[in-house]
Amino acid sequence: MTDQSHQKTEYQPPRVWVPAANGGPFASINRPTAGPTHEKELPVGKHPLQLYSLATPNGVKVTVMLEELLAAGHKGAEYDAWLIKINEGDQFGSGFVDVNPNSKIPALFDRSGDTPVRVFESGSILLYLAEKFGAFLPQDPARRTETLNWLFWQMGAGPLLGGGFGHFYAYAPEKIEYAINRYAMEAKRQLDVLDRQLAANRFIAGDEYTIADMAIWPWYGGLVQGEIYDAAEFLAVHEYQHVNRWAKEVAARPAVIRGRKVNRVRGKPEEQVAERHDASDLD
């Protein structure tokens, strides 16, 4: 007789899926529907640009861009950054959903013109700001296209790193060998893609620092520098010498150092600035 207690039960999907408790740190905010869960207006500060975010890699993209614009002399890029606590469901408030119906950070509201403009999805925000201020996006068609190639590469590849590898390696309530192996392979493939590109280029899209670097650095720079998922050793990130060289150079930029602090509520106390309403807040 076979001992059934030692046999692994294979999951069989039902004919129609129904929600089930999934555990993990984000279980309380996961749901299969969109729209607001409660009424809550968003605060509005004194600057035309209003950012609603959190210092996740996607949030850092935008605060770095805004600080880079200010460092480059674009005074119109002054902004208010309001903290959105995603673990507490702030992204499901009615005001936030009005700015981003997808209920994800970051979200930007530009009140500088006659008609307010909402901008959501981090890549869209980077492109919007680059075009608004004429900065960090080459005007030459070929170089512009190369920059956008890499911007959209990150937008497509990032979910496999974050929602794939990051989730199953760091956040899932149980360690699933198949899932971790599957996404670890993809994470390393992506690092190899970047390493080969950076072997021949100072920055992602060439010799010029662009929004492609701002999009990619918080994820892959953070990964090789041990700042996300604590997976540097597991993924043997030392193998990607060109990614490491680039990650260190970008991390040392004053605007990147400042941008990383905004909407941050974890880590070293000196790096945490929950809200930003004036440049002096970062000092």
Residues 54 and 124 in one domain: yes
The answer as to whether 22 is a domain residue is no
Between 2 and 245, whose confidence is greater?
245
Strands 49-53 and 107-110: antiparallel
Q: Does the pLDDT at position 21 exceed 80?
A: no
The pTM of this model reads 0.95
pLDDT at residue 56 in the model: 97
Structure confidence at residue 7 (pLDDT): 52
Is 273 or 29 the better-scoring residue by pLDDT?
273
Other C-beta atoms within 10 Å of 1: how many? 3
Q: Which of 213, 183, 188, 219 is nearest to 198 (CA)?
A: 213
| pLDDT over 80 at 143, yes or no | yes
* pLDDT of 11: 85
Q: Is residue 34 part of a domain?
A: no
Q: What is the pLDDT of residues 58-103, one digit of tens each?
A: 999 999 999 999 999 999 999 999 999 999 999 999 999 999 999 9
Residue 92's domain is classified under what CATH number? 3.40.30.10
pLDDT of amino acid 87? 93
Specify the 3-state DSSP secondary structure of 203.
strand
In a domain, 9, yes or no: no
What φ, ψ does residue 139 adopt, rounded to 5°? -85, -30
pLDDT band (50, 70, 90) for residue 5: very low
Q: Mean pLDDT over residues 168-176, rounded?
A: 95
The pLDDT of residue 13: 94
* Same domain? 156 vs 88: no
Place of tokens 């279980």: 27
Q: How confident is the model at residue 2 (pLDDT cuts 50, 70, 90)?
A: very low
Domain that holds residue 173: 141-251
Q: Tell me if 104 is assigned to some domain.
A: yes
CATH number of the domain bearing residue 189: 1.20.1050.10
Question: Is the predicted pLDDT of residue 6 greater than 70, yes or no?
Answer: no
What does the alpha-carbon distance between residue 165 and residue 188 come to, in Å, rounded to a whole number?
A: 10
Average pLDDT of every residue of the chain: 95
Query: Is the residue at 39 inside a domain?
Result: no
pLDDT score recorded for residue 248:
98
In the chain, the number of structural domains is 2
Return left, alpha or beta for 226; rule: phi > 0 is left, psi -120 to 50 is alpha, else beta: left
- Whether residues 130 and 162 share a domain: the answer is no
pLDDT confidence band for 8 (50 / 70 / 90) = low
Report the b/e string of 72-87 with b at 16+ CB within 10 A: eebeebbbbbbbbebe
